[in-house]
Amino acid sequence: MTTSLFLVQLINGLQYGLLLFLIASGLTLVFGVMGILNLAHGSMYMVGAYLVWYFFEHTGSFGLSALISAVIALLVGVFMERTLIRQLYRRNHLDQVLLTIGMIFVFNALQSILWGNDPLGVAVPPSLSGAIPMTDVLEYPIYRIFVALLCVLIAGVMYFMINKTRLGMLIRAGESNREMVECLGIDIRKLYTIVFAIGVMLAAVAGVAAAPMSSIVPGMGEHILITCFVVVVIGGMGSIKGAFVAALLVGLVDTFASVMVPQLSSMMIYILMAFILLIKPQGLFSS
C-alpha cells in the first residue's frame, strides 16, 4: 500500500467512523437512558436522507433542506415517543423488538408510497463541491471533510450538553436511577421524550449528511443499523464515549479491510467485535 493510498483510506475510515458515531450515539443514548432497544433507528437515517432530497428538489438550498429535515425528524421523534414508545417502558425487550420491527415495515412502506423505489441522489452543495490538494497527486473532497468536522462538532456539543448542563445532569441521573429522579419531582416522561427525539434527530442528520455521498435507496437504514449495533456493543451499551471510540475503530477496520482483504471485508467488523468481547464482555466503556 502506497503512502497516498494509506492516507486516503485513513481519512475515509475516520470520516466513516464519525458518521457511524452520529447514528450510533442516538441509539446508545436511547438505550442507556430509557432502556429501549429501538430497531427502527436505522429507518430514521433513511428518513433523513429522503427528506433532504425532497426539500432540496423544491428549494434548491441544501442548508435549508437540512434544517427542515432535522426539525421534522425531531417532531417525528416526539410523536413516536408519545404514541408508541411510551407504552414499552414497563415491558420486556421482546415487546420492544416486535414493535420497533413493525415500525421498520411502516417506514419502508411510507417511503415507497411517498418517494417510490428508484435510487435517488442529492448534489453536493456548490460551496462544498471542490477538493483540497493533499499531495502532488492526491486530492480529497471538501464535502467529506465538512461532514467529518460536522460530526466532531456534534460530538463536542453532545459532550458539553451531557456533562455541563442541567439537562445532561438529568439524563445521567435518569440513566443511573430513574426512580430516584421521579421522587425528586422530575417529569421523567418529558425527559424521555427529549432523549428519544434527540436520538431520532441524530440519526436523521446522519442521513442528511450522507445523502450527497451515496445513493438514496429503499431499505438503506437496515444495513447501517446492523453496523451501528456492532458499534454500540463494542463501545458498551449506553456509553457515548464508548460509541465514539468504537465507531472510529469500526470505520477504520471496515475501510482498510475493503482495500487490503476485500474477500473478508464483510466480516472483519464482526471479528473485531468478537475479539473485543472476549477481552471485555461488557464492551470497552460499559455504563
Q: HSE of 123 in the Cβ direction (CA atoms, 13 Å)?
A: 10
Q: What is the per-residue DSSP string for 240-264?
A: HHHHHHHHHHHHHHHHHHHHH-TTT
pLDDT for the residue 17:
93
280, 156, 208, 139: CA torsion to nearest 10: -90
The list of the chain residues with pLDDT below 70 reads: 1, 175-176, 287
Query: Coil, strand, or helix at residue 135?
Result: coil
User: Is 39 exposed, middle or buried (CB count within 10 Å of its CB: 0-12, 13-18, 19+)?
Assistant: buried
- The H-assigned helical ranges of the chain are 3-34, 41-59, 62-83, 93-115, 142-164, 166-176, 178-183, 188-210, 220-235, 240-260, 265-279
Return the DSSP state at 133.
Answer: E
Residue 287, pLDDT score: 56
Contact 229, 147 (CB under 8 A): no
Domains of the chain (ranges, CATH numbers): 3-279 (1.10.3470)
pTM of the model: 0.89
What is the Cα–Cα distance from 127 to 13, expressed in whole angstroms? 24
pLDDT score, position 178: 72
Between CA 74 and CA 81 the distance in angstroms is: 11
Q: Which residue has the cell 475479539?
A: 275
pLDDT at 1: 62
Contact 259, 253 (CB under 8 A): no
